[in-house]
Amino acid sequence: MKRARKPKSTSRPKVAKNPRKAPKKSVSKSDTLARVRKMCLSLPETSEKIAWGAPTFRVKGKLFVMYVDNHHHDGRVAIWCMAPEGSQRALVASDPEHFFVPPYVGPSGWIGIRLDRKLDWSIIKEMIQEAHHTRAPEL
CB 99 within 8 A of CB 115: no
Q: Is residue 29 predicted with pLDDT exceeding 90? A: no
pLDDT in tens, 53-80: 999 999 999 999 999 999 988 899 999 9
pTM greater than 0.75: yes
What does the alpha-carbon distance between residue 15 and residue 117 come to, in Å, rounded to a whole number? 26
CATH number for 29-135 (one of 3.30.1330.10, 3.40.50.300, 3.90.1150.30, 3.40.640.10): it is 3.90.1150.30
Measured CA to CA, the distance from residue 59 to residue 45 in angstroms comes to: 5
Smallest CA-to-CA distance from 33 within 129, 89, 116 is with 116
| Higher per-residue pLDDT: 96 or 15 | 96
